[in-house]
């Protein structure tokens, strides 16, 4: 296999044309769908975007959806603008490939975008969070909106997704195991070896990781170096920002009152988005005949609320 040390491990597993069944499993888990043919997936990942040198991790078309997936080991509130740039390039590529005349008078159907950011950094983040491009506009009064669903895929989080998608659960376990061994051994390569050796033989990704161990190590070392550089850049920026903040503090104080009002509006919007996503996950679990007790534990919704959702979508509930 050709070495691609610059690719992320997440992309190596879930954006691999030879392992479309793992991509499809994750797609179904995230969207509550039940597609069975991996060959329905058509990858269209931006390998080397010209604009600002950006690349996206995984994107593909299945049926009427275009899924844009990005993996992040650090929380990034600017993901919506990144997805906005990716989407523009992907749709341009799609329209060119399908001979769609963009200046015509007839409306052309396009695949609808699904923007997902998979987060597995060490900073504490909620299981799900909705990031919106409008939050970058200050007063939120813009004419373009991009909504990104950020999912925490650290091991032990988002149990419903992990239950539905075994490759994701195995990937999360592996990342956590590498972290554990790296703290003990203080050597990243040895930590990768130890994590693979410790991995249960029943895990579907183990054979894949073993046969590509050199590539996996290369990806980990590359990601580690990149994260170290980002950390140093953040520390330098913090010092610069602190000095500038002494000058700007008074002006920010005057703006604080206006900012509080905007924050309240964003909080209300976030609450509505989280409620919508929880409803989506519960619906998916009901359609897969999850036991009611498990749905209660994962969703933290009341029994009556879950039964109401089941009634609305017309499915029976397992006790």
Beta strands in the chain (DSSP E): 42-43, 58-62, 65-72, 112-119, 128-132, 147-152
* CB-facing half-sphere around the CA of 236: CA atoms within 13 A: 6
Going by their DSSP bridges, the two strands 147-152 and 112-119 should be labelled as parallel
* Distance of alpha carbon 65 from alpha carbon 62, whole angstroms: 5
Of residues 138, 144, 147, 143, the one with CA closest to residue 262: 138
Q: Are 43 and 19 in contact (CB under 8 A)?
A: no
- The single-letter DSSP state of residue 303 is H
Tokens of 251: 């002006």
Q: Are 50 and 32 in contact (CB under 8 A)?
A: no
Element (H, E) at 232: helix 213-287
pTM, to two decimals: 0.67
Element (H, E) at 211: helix 206-211
25-54 confidence digits (pLDDT tens) = 999 999 999 999 999 888 877 654 333 333
pLDDT in tens, the chain (319 residues): 333 333 488 989 998 999 999 999 999 999 999 999 999 888 877 654 333 333 456 788 887 888 899 999 889 999 999 999 989 988 998 899 899 988 889 999 999 999 999 999 999 999 999 999 999 998 767 899 999 999 999 999 999 999 999 999 999 999 999 999 999 999 989 999 999 999 999 999 999 999 999 888 888 877 654 455 445 555 555 565 655 665 566 556 556 655 665 656 555 655 565 577 677 777 877 887 777 877 777 777 888 888 888 888 888 877 6
Q: Are 90 and 44 in contact (CB under 8 A)?
A: yes
SS3 59: strand
Place of tokens 């919508």: 276
75-91 confidence digits (pLDDT tens) = 999 999 999 998 998 89
């Amino acid at each position: 296999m050709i070495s691609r040390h610059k690719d992320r491990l997440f992309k190596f597993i879930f954006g691999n044309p030879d392992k479309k069944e793992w991509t499809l499993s994750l797609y179904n888990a995230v969207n509550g769908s039940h597609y069975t043919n991996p060959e329905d997936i058509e990858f269209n990942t931006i390998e080397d975007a010209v604009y600002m040198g950006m690349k996206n991790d995984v994107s593909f078309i299945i049926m009427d959806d275009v899924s844009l997936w990005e993996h992040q080991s650090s929380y990034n509130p600017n993901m919506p603008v990144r997805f906005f740039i990716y989407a523009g390039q992907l749709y341009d590529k799609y329209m060119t490939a399908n001979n769609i005349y963009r200046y015509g008078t007839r409306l052309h159907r396009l695949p609808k975008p699904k923007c997902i950011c998979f987060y597995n950094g060490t900073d504490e983040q909620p299981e799900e969070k909705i990031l919106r491009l409008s939050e970058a506009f200050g007063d939120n009064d813009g004419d373009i909106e991009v909504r990104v669903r950020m999912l925490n895929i650290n091991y032990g989080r988002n149990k419903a997704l992990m239950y539905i998608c075994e490759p994701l659960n195995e990937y999360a376990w592996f990342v956590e195991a590498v972290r554990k061994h790296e703290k003990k051994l203080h050597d990243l390569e040895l930590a990768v070896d130890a994590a693979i050796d410790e991995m249960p033989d029943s895990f579907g990704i183990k054979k894949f990781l073993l046969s590509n161990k050199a590539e996996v190590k290369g990806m980990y070392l590359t990601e580690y170096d990149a994260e170290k550089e980002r950390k140093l850049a953040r520390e330098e920026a913090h010092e610069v920002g602190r000095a500038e903040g002494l000058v700007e503090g008074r002006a920010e104080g005057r703006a604080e009152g206006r900012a509080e009002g905007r924050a309240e509006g964003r909080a209300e919007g976030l609450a509505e988005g989280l409620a919508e996503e929880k409803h989506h996950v519960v619906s998916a679990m009901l359609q897969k005949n999850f036991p009611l007790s498990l749905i209660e534990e994962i969703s933290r919704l009341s029994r009556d609320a879950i039964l109401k959702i089941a009634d609305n979508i017309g499915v029976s509930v397992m006790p």
